[in-house]
Structure 1
């Protein structure tokens, strides 16, 4: 466990160096001009209007706000969470695309693998958590206000553990998750975003439901003259008699024109269930017309 956390820290430091290096490669172009060129590349090369916003790396968006027809993106994510009785390794594969202007769609396969620690003999069963499908529509995009807003919906079909495929029903429940997003860019480099909505869990076995409210707020700073950013997510969950928050410092580094890497560290405010976590996201954006 310590080795993995050290490896995550080393990767974080490496990317900090990369951020500095990428910024220095643009020394021949004044940063304010480079920023303007990048913003113009995103916002002005096509219609309809689209505002450049920094997208959070852990609770990511279904598609860019103000998405344009033909945009698409592959994501591969890997993470580790140190919990009290076990370690949780997560992995995900997702594909997102925009079939028409302003509408983003996504299909995701999230996996969880569990291993007992600290002398414990039991851990949750490893599984493909769910088949996750989502849609997001940007209903407000203002170039003057540098603001975008969207509504969306995520539908998850929860699945049973790998070792119970032959003895239990494949689908164990549904998760219904409508959400709202509002984002604003302040000047050329500072970005804020709100992502909020209820998650309604419906378990088939006992036919019970319970609701968890997500309230995610984000602040990012885009490094002058680059696509790289540093920032922080505040992931909050509220339900009856309980409130949890995890602070997630993060950074994104552009490796090539269409490949980016995001690194996230999770710091829970209340450590009743888990301790520190790390998460890595590889983003590939194929070229589109």
Structure 2
């Protein structure tokens, strides 16, 4: 009987100790998150409020929501998409900065190159090209600290560039793309993030009819406590000529240093007969960014 009593006391002690340790770790995580958020969002008494939101990796924002004057960032992206008869490779170089509080500007050069199966072209296929010179702006008009909500309006203008094999034979500039958009983001607690990015894309190439598409991009992310690392899902949808196409993009972002991160994305097309799996990687460098914790 004494042995049973001793065993019961021993098990209760172990359980109580484990529970105490778990509660202690939970409190430490909460404190770490609070310190990190305070660091990012309230660096001084003379700065405008800013909320930390997870930024999607494939269709990214022009600048952080609530951007502060002086923030800047370089991005280099590389990706591949299976197009059944050929492989499409994407490369981009972009620079974004905030000249004043809450206004972000961006310059981007996106390239596309193609690798054809069996070394031969089949039917009408794209040519290698610099897609466009892309200029963009984004202004955060709402930062609600009470609700952890930020909203922004933006505009992207693309000067479409002719295929490499036609440069010198035809005009280098072949049309325009007009793309106003709206962004709305909410953080739920300290770790869970949702964001919607939507807007029409008006494509006007010279000597061709105007085409209007609608993009609807939904994002769900979990950010790891006390860091900017996250895992999540980006859902890219486009309505083109009355047809809806959807691509799921599971993704993760990992900090390599205080001012250097890498993002890894997979592409899973839904119901698209002309597209298979794809991948994308983004290297993010923020000159001057420093965490203090």
TM-score calculated relative to the size of structure 1? 0.88
Aligned counterpart, 1:37: 35
SS of 1:32 mapped into structure 2 = helix
Report matched runs for 1:68-79 at 5 Å: 68-79=68-79
* Counterpart position of 2:91: 91
Cα distance in 2 for partners of 1:213, 1:126 equals: 26
Runs of 4+ displaced beyond 3 Å? none
- Cα pair 2:259 2:289 within 8 Å, conserved: no
| Pairing 1:138-287 to 2, within 5 Å after superposition | 138-204=140-206, 206-287=207-288
CA separation in 1, counterparts of 2:244 and 2:201?
Answer: 14
Say which is worse superposed, 206-215 or 69-78, in terms of deviation. 206-215
Q: CA deviation at 1:262?
A: 0.2
Q: Secondary structure at the match of 1:87?
A: strand
Match of 1:55 in 2: 55
Change (3 A) 1:274 1:120: farther
- Other-structure match for 2:115: 115
- SS across alignment from 2:204: strand
**Structure 1, unpaired ranges of 5+:** 1-26
After superposition, the CA RMSD in angstroms is: 1.6
Which one has a bigger Cα radius of gyration? Answer: 2
By how many angstroms is 1:156 displaced? 0.0
Cα pair 2:258 2:289 within 8 Å, conserved: no
Supply the distance in 1 between the matched residues of 2:26 and 2:190 (Cα, whole angstroms): 19
3-state SS in 2 of match to 1:93 = strand
> In structure 2, what is the Cα distance between the partners aligned to 1:120 and 1:156?
31
